[in-house]
Amino acid sequence: MSEGKSDTGTARVSGTTRVVGILGEPINHTLSPRMHNAAFAELGLDYVYVPFRATKQTLREAIKSIRTMGVVGFNVTVPFKEDCLRLLERTSDTARAIGAVNTIYLSDGRLVGENTDAPGFHQALLAHGFRPRGKRVLVIGAGGSARAVVHSLVATGAADIVIANRTAAKARKLARQLGGEAANIRTADLEILDDFDFLATRQLVVNSTSVGLGGGAFLDYDADSTPDDCVHFDLAYAEGPTPFLKLAEKAERPTIDGRHMLVHQGALAFKLFTGRKAPVEVMAKAIGIASR
């Protein structure tokens, strides 16, 4: 065992240990501490990554702890990604375009907000050999994570993006804010999920809802209607295949597990927190997937 590593993959805490955190509510389910602590241990860094339960009322104070308590930075998860935008001193172009922040760190004395979800999504696609340029995509859902996905798909040149959401008005708002028809974005209702003619045109289907994770079934979606090589990417993740990925696997379509996006967005945040290149393989292994 080398200096700075422990046999559990958890960093040793001492008087010099620096703290990185994740802010969310609920936060019990997060895999980020496992992933980042394994990375700190691997590189022998004297850091520890811990979950913090915040509330809408305490969020501002929690962020200030970067100054008041020397916290290195935070990842941000549901439901604070949008709220953080207005609480920071600088935000990246990507974070502003998406309208959400998932990483906060100090740069030149200023509290900076970044969004690594969009590039994390893109890197997970590339790692599975999928290039969005010129592709026809279906995005199911229009919440916070769909914003990062659609932003990434537009930025990387997808030819046709259809957003299907239960609440049609939210899909329309998202499409409009991210460029509408000029950016090749259209919207549809959930009935399109079993429309053979439409599904037969898709090359990538992204689920950005968490439907089925609580134990129920996924939506009425016909994976068999998609082309044989249509890639199915589920942002939602669990210890094993999610209900959406099970449908795709049953239809023998290629799949991407949401933990791959988690690793890549985490690796980008790790670099912002520590200045060091993240050990992606170690981070992936810590959350139960093989690195790609």
| Binding interface with ligand NDP (CB under 6 A) | 78, 117, 141-146, 165-167, 170, 208-211, 219, 235-237, 258, 261-262, 265
Q: Is 246 a catalytic residue?
A: no
Which string of DSSP letters, residue by residue, matches 31-56?
-HHHHHHHHHHHHT--EEEEEEE--T
Local structure of residue 57 (DSSP, 8 states): T
Q: Confirm if 9 and 43 have CB atoms less than 8 A apart.
A: no
User: What DSSP state is assigned to residue 194?
Assistant: G
Question: Could you give the count of Cα atoms lying within 13 Å of 187 in the half-sphere of its Cβ?
Answer: 20
Minimum CB separation from ligand NDP for residue 69, in Å?
27
Closest alpha carbon to 37 in 275, 203, 266: 266
**Minimum separation from the CB atom of position 149 to ligand NDP (A):** 9
The closest of 143, 137, 197, 129 to 174, measured between CA atoms, is 143
Q: Which is nearer to ligand NDP, 24 or 73 (CB)?
A: 24
Please, what is the minimum distance in Å from the beta carbon of residue 68 to ligand NDP?
28
Pairing of strands 47-53, 90-91: unpaired
Task: Give per-residue burial for 43-57: e unless 16+ CB within 10 Å, then b.
Answer: bebebbbebbebeee
Cα-trace Rg, the chain: 19
Q: What is the dihedral of CA 91, 92, 97, 102, to 10 degrees?
A: -70
Nearer to ligand NDP, 5 or 278 (CB): 278
> Shortest distance, CB of residue 70 to ligand NDP, whole angstroms?
27
Nearer to ligand NDP, 63 or 150 (CB): 150
The dihedral sign for the CA sequence 72, 77, 79, 84: positive
| CB closer to ligand NDP out of 5 and 178 | 178
Min. distance of Cβ 105 from ligand NDP in angstroms? 18
Quick one: 145 or 152, whose CB is closer to ligand NDP? 145
Catalytic residue (one of 5, 81, 135, 173): 81
Catalytic machinery residues: 81
